[in-house]
Amino acid sequence: MAESYVRFFGEKPSRRVTSPLEKGDHPELDTSEFLGVDETRIYQSMIGSAQWVISIGRFDIAVHIMTLSSFRAQPRRGHLDRIKRVYA
């Protein structure tokens, strides 16, 4: 997953987080701008990669990824920031 992150964003993910999403976070209430076509493809690819990682054993991120995957059709900037946090 880290290799995908570097390929998409040109930097390694931050290691300063202690949980996949912030406590009390509600992605369904996000009102940030919608992503463009290219960023939407990146978001969808990151969700797909994370779902694969869950299937091979990272069950601890399953709820977070399934929540974020519901925004695959029209993700917002805040959703992309959240998936980046999960990758960290």
Q: How far apart are CA 20 and CA 82, in angstroms?
A: 8
Mean pLDDT over all residues of the chain? 91
Average pLDDT over residues 37-58: 95
Q: How confident is the model at residue 19 (pLDDT cuts 50, 70, 90)?
A: confident
Looking at the chain, list the stretches that DSSP marks H as alpha helix, in order from N- to C-terminal side: 2-9, 37-55, 62-69, 77-87
